[in-house]
Structure 1
């Protein structure tokens, strides 16, 4: 993934072999903050083979991977879930260390006919297998130019550099990823917190942070209370979380099974429960519930953290989010918009769908095409002839101009089985018997219950499946 690195100075407690604090400039801070903009599907794709797993999200991701592509509305739907785009990609493309190579190497596909691009078929897609309004397949790539290239921008003030924070920003980072101004008060407070009273027990080290370390840090942020120590000091692998920490049975049993709320938009789910064990064995639901579950993979991590305020987390990603809120906007961030991108991150364009219960917004990204040559710009170019481009909705089966999909990702009508740990499969009598056998639940102990899922229940299943 490249050999580029960022220098990071850290103060180590030699006796406890733990990072007390680290000091960093803007490049590393930007990489840390970019975690909040990443979708859960991207995080799972990048870290799925590392231990421990992230709640039930690994199972959900594997369910998409194993589901026959013919059960999706389009081929692109499966690709969108397995490799969701970042709504803040135009910012993250400028990170010094880029860990999401798919987002950073997006293709802008069109039919290859310059007349189509310049006329009524001003549509493009990031996904193969689609067709232009003229009937030709979109398999040719438009060149993309950055904002700086399109406007010939020369940055003269180093404070204007950086991605989210200003170019000359320096901050202290605690082991729990709390970002603080580099004051003596903050440093002494962290030393006191760790019980460090003697300078002889401390050691200063400089680390070269590469993409590999960033990936470890991303995972540790979600599952560990000491991510810097786990990443920089090469601690032993973190233990696999207990089974009770991973399931969504708490959600289904406590929120859907007992307290399902009334509301305008509801999804019907049939639960199969064990009466004696008071637990959900599995659920049976139509494609609208599966669309809801699969859409969790497209949601930015920062949005989930925002929604889970007040709920416990086994990691410390909430500290990073809280730091963004607490840091002075004018002093540390490039603008209030950059700060809001982190506090309220949006999904990439066209990743939402009609009647989606999750209240996350889509980014309103506009694209422009140079009139001189098929080159695409993410910002309105200056000193060039350009026209406005429109992105196809990849979920729309018919790739015609302005074609929009009213549905989600999964083709219906269809019924699916969803286990308590979010394994999703087409309905199968064999699977039902297998689940009951594994749970040691006799047929005489089964109870069926019809429940309805609304916005409140969605919030709880989201949090339970990801961060509990």
Structure 2
């Protein structure tokens, strides 16, 4: 079952006011990986078109104001402005809680149930030439036990702790890699390091999505800085 908050532990260089990396579990890594599968239209809608960098916001606004008269009969504005997220995305919490998944999409067959499926009830079956207007239900993959669902769902395994860098590089956590990173960032004063547990909710999820499009210091921007409204 999806939760509204995801926790992760940050290692912060207080002198440089920078997040070196985060220790994260499966839930946060699934969230990050899922950002790559979001349709562009969904990303724009989540961030709101007025805060988008470049012209994508204008493109979104053009579709929004275009009359339905100019669209093909089997197309709708919602298909562009509110595209269906992948089924996996619907199992990831945070900013995806208000995004429809493909499991909510409507499919149709002809009354003879030939082996053809359409998303338009006005489509004609190539076998019997009848309208394909018999509604059928798409069933997403589910697991019998809730515990198994948490482990098997999403993208990565849950028995591993992951290291997420400030620029969102993700790798399995290890003591050796942690030490190597301290050397890479020239951290000489261990006393300047601070561990901080933070929660990622809807607001932080949206900030992270926005920061990932604008910066390579994503975790620092979200948890230590201000990337704007």
Q: Same fold (TM over 0.5)?
A: yes
1:29 positional shift: 0.5
Q: Which residue of 2 aligns with 1:343?
A: none
SS at match of 2:157: coil
Q: Which residue of 2 aligns with 1:231?
A: 222
Instruction: Assess if the C-alpha contact under 8 Å between 1:69 and 1:75 holds in 2.
Output: no
SS at match of 2:22: strand
Q: Which residue of 1 aligns with 2:84?
A: 85
> Over aligned residue pairs, what C-alpha RMSD do you find?
3.3
Structure 1 residues 215-364: aligned runs within 5 Å? 215-233=206-224, 235-238=225-228
Partners of 1:141 and 1:211 in 2: CA distance: 34
TM-score, L = length of structure 1:
0.42
Post-superposition Cα deviations, 1:50-89, rounded to whole Å, max 9, x if no partner, equal 74x2332222222222222212223624332212334xx1
Structure 1 residues 120-199: aligned runs within 5 Å? 120=114, 123-125=117-119, 130-131=121-122, 133=124, 134=130, 142-148=136-142, 153-154=144-145, 161-199=152-190
Q: Which residue of 2 aligns with 1:27?
A: 27
Partners of 2:149 and 2:104 in 1: CA distance: 28
Partners of 2:99 and 2:183 in 1: CA distance: 41
Runs of 4+ in 1 over 6 A off after TM superposition: 155-159
Partners of 2:156 and 2:117 in 1: CA distance: 34
CA pair 110-159 structure 1, distance change in 2 beyond 3 A: closer
Partners of 1:229 and 1:74 in 2: CA distance: 47
Aligned residues: 222
TM-score, L = length of structure 2:
0.79
CA pair 102-141 structure 1, distance change in 2 beyond 3 A: farther
Q: Does 1:69 align with 2:60?
A: no
CA pair 49-213 structure 1, distance change in 2 beyond 3 A: farther
Post-superposition Cα deviations, 1:264-292, rounded to whole Å, max 9, x if no partner, equal xxxxxxxxxxxxxxxxxxxxxxxxxxxxx
Q: Which residue of 1 aligns with 2:91?
A: 94
Post-superposition Cα deviations, 1:96-143, rounded to whole Å, max 9, x if no partner, equal 4461612266232549xxxx4553485342x7xx4364559x5x9644
Q: Which residue of 1 aligns with 2:127?
A: none
1:216 positional shift: 1.5
Instruction: Assess if the C-alpha contact under 8 Å between 2:22 and 2:165 holds in 1.
Output: yes
Instruction: Assess if the C-alpha contact under 8 Å between 2:160 and 2:172 holds in 1.
Output: no
Partners of 1:148 and 1:3 in 2: CA distance: 17
SS at match of 1:180: strand
SS at match of 1:131: coil
Post-superposition Cα deviations, 1:306-338, rounded to whole Å, max 9, x if no partner, equal xxxxxxxxxxxxxxxxxxxxxxxxxxxxxxxxx
Instruction: Assess if the C-alpha contact under 8 Å between 1:117 and 1:123 holds in 2.
Output: no
CA pair 25-39 structure 1, distance change in 2 beyond 3 A: same
CA pair 46-5 structure 1, distance change in 2 beyond 3 A: same
Q: Which residue of 1 aligns with 2:45?
A: 45
Partners of 2:207 and 2:114 in 1: CA distance: 47
Gap runs ≥5 in structure 2: 125-129
1:173 positional shift: 0.8
Instruction: Assess if the C-alpha contact under 8 Å between 1:220 and 1:231 holds in 2.
Output: yes
Larger Rg: 1
Partners of 2:17 and 2:60 in 1: CA distance: 35
SS at match of 1:31: helix
Partners of 2:149 and 2:45 in 1: CA distance: 35
CA pair 212-106 structure 1, distance change in 2 beyond 3 A: farther
Partners of 1:212 and 1:117 in 2: CA distance: 47
Name whichever of 19-28 and 93-102 sits farther off.
Answer: 93-102
Partners of 1:156 and 1:205 in 2: CA distance: 28
CA pair 205-64 structure 1, distance change in 2 beyond 3 A: same
Post-superposition Cα deviations, 1:134-182, rounded to whole Å, max 9, x if no partner, equal 559x5x9644433236xxx458879962421122122111111111221
CA pair 30-54 structure 1, distance change in 2 beyond 3 A: same
CA pair 166-118 structure 1, distance change in 2 beyond 3 A: farther
Instruction: Assess if the C-alpha contact under 8 Å between 1:109 and 1:124 holds in 2.
Output: yes
